[in-house]
Structure 1
């Protein structure tokens, strides 16, 4: 696998992990403790990373909700 292929693969994996964490947040209310992170840059990018997962989660729920293949219970 080329370097570009590995980079794409790792990027997609990171987005899937962020989306999974967004689902956990929505269903249980559990969130990371950002106040324990001392470096402001790391804290800022961590929040942006989790916000990306929230966006992907929202888009996925909206898309599946409008699909005829899924129904709400």
Structure 2
């Protein structure tokens, strides 16, 4: 697998982890403690990363909610 393949694989993994963290936040209220990072730039990117996961989570829930293959209980 070349460099492009590895980069795509890593990107997809990062999106899945961020989306999983968004689901945990929505269902339990637990969030990662980003205050522990001393560097403000790292904190800023962590907030952006977690917000991106929430966007993907919202899009996925909306798509599944409008599909006939899923039902609400």
Q: TM-score range by the shorter chain?
A: over 0.9
More relative contact order, 1 or 2 (CA 8 Å, 6+ apart) = 1
**TM-score, structure 1 as length reference:** 0.97
Match of 2:38 in 1: 38
Q: Which runs of 5+ in 1 are unaligned?
A: none
Q: Distance in 2 between matches of 1:58 and 1:43?
A: 23
DSSP-derived class of the 1:48 partner? helix
DSSP-derived class of the 1:70 partner? coil
Deviant stretches of 4+, over 6 Å: none
Q: Aligned Cα RMSD in Å?
A: 0.6
Q: Give the total of aligned pairs.
A: 73
